[in-house]
Amino acid sequence: MAKGDDIQERLIDFAVNVIQLSSKLANSAAEKHVANQLLRSGTSPAPNYAEARSAESPKDFLHKLRVALKELNETKIWLQIILRSQMMSIDECYQFQNECDELCRIISASIKTSLRKNHSQC
C-alpha cells in the first residue's frame, strides 16, 4: 500500500469514527448542533485528500490539502468543545483527539514538503 493510500485509509477511518461519535450526541439541541458541526468538519478531510491526490496542478494539490487541514483543525475545536461542555468523557474523546492531531501533523508535513518541492522547481 502506498503512503498516500495509508493516509487516505486513516482519514476514512477517522470519518467513520466521527460519524459514530456524532451519533451519540443527540440528547439536546446543543448536542445536536455540535454533532452536526463535528459531522461536517470531521468527514470532510477524507474526500478533500482524495481530491488532492488527483489534483490537476501543484497549486490545486496544495489548495485541497489546505482545505483538508482546515477541516481537521475545525474538528479539533469541536472535540475540545465536546470535552469542555462535558458532552462526553475524556476517555471517549481521547482517541479522536489524538488521531486528529496526528492527521493534522501528517497533512501539514505534506503541505510543507510540497511547498519545498515547488520552490526548488522555480
Contact between 64 and 55 under an 8 Å Cβ cutoff? The reply is yes
SS3 state at 44 = coil
pLDDT digits (tens, 9 = 90+) for 25-70: 878 999 999 999 999 999 999 999 999 999 999 999 999 999 999 9
Can you say whether the dihedral through the CA atoms of 66, 70, 71, 75 is positive or negative?
positive
Domains observed in the chain: 3-120 (1.20.1440.60)
The answer to pTM > 0.85 is yes
Closest CA to 20 of 88, 86, 80: 88
